[in-house]
Chain A
Amino acid sequence: QVTLKESGPALVKPTQTLTLTCSFSGFSLTTDGMCLSWIRQPPGKALEWLARIDWAGDKYYSTSLGTRLTISRDTSKNQVVLTMTNLDPVDTATYFCAREETRGYFDSWGQGILVTVSS
């Protein structure tokens, strides 16, 4: 059974750095073709893909947010970490991690974590 769960702070101040952790089980991120992505959703708005790390450790970022994002993995702990710098209130959103299948669809999702950016 595949499970994913996001953890991190619920409240962050503007200009601070956000660090989110996705802990997963039921699959190996080192299996050929396996990827894990971060996706966010501002309240009442659509989904926005942020970043991906794949089975080889290659990293991919949103074209609009790329310079603010860093994704990394700890394969021994089955965890993927996303950091986002210079937070702004517009970054207030629910952040999801999701397993991304080879063909590019997200077949398993975490429950999401709501992060509010406010002073």
Chain B
Amino acid sequence: DIQMTQSPSSLSASVGGRVTLTCRASQTISKSLNWYQQKPGKAPKLLIYGASNLATGVPSRFTGSGSGTHFTLTITSLQPEDFATYYCQQSFVFPPSFGQGTKLEIK
């Protein structure tokens, strides 16, 4: 199975700020990388698919990039509703696998 590693595991940022979250795959996955946002007690929400494609209704302050084994999710102009846990997931090979998550907290 492909292992997905996210860093950092948590970080603090201020409203209005900018953060970059990282996801690495244990082997190349081309651009088959998806990002989800999860708030406490809620189901994950798809943000980015195919490494850089914004899901329907997702604000443009979310940007995904990368290919191969290294991927990033950048959030600019942080809003209060952006503080959540973010997961990456590879869909290149079976079985699909998730990272352990990055928790974004308000500073």
Query: Interface residues, chain A, CB within 8 Å of chain B?
Result: 37, 46-49, 60, 62-63, 96, 98, 101, 103-107, 109-112
Contacts of B97 in A (CB 8 A): 49
Q: Is the interface of A mostly helix, strand, loop or mixed?
A: loop
Counting residue pairs across A and B whose Cβ atoms lie within 8 Å, the total is 56
- Count, chain B residues at interface, CB 8 A: 24
A110 touches B49 (CB 8 A): no
Query: Interface residues, chain B, CB within 8 Å of chain A?
Result: 1, 32, 34, 36, 42-46, 49-50, 55, 87, 89, 91-92, 94-101
15 contacts between A and B (CB under 8 A): A37-B96, A46-B87, A47-B36, A49-B97, A63-B1, A63-B95, A96-B43, A98-B43, A103-B50, A104-B32, A104-B34, A104-B91, A106-B34, A109-B45, A112-B43
* B48 (CB) vs chain A CBs: closest residue: A105
Alpha-carbon separation in the docked complex, A109 to B47 (Å)? 13
A107 touches B91 (CB 8 A): no
A60 touches B95 (CB 8 A): yes
* Nearest Cβ on chain B to A11's Cβ, whole angstroms: 19
Alpha-carbon separation in the docked complex, A104 to B97 (Å)? 11
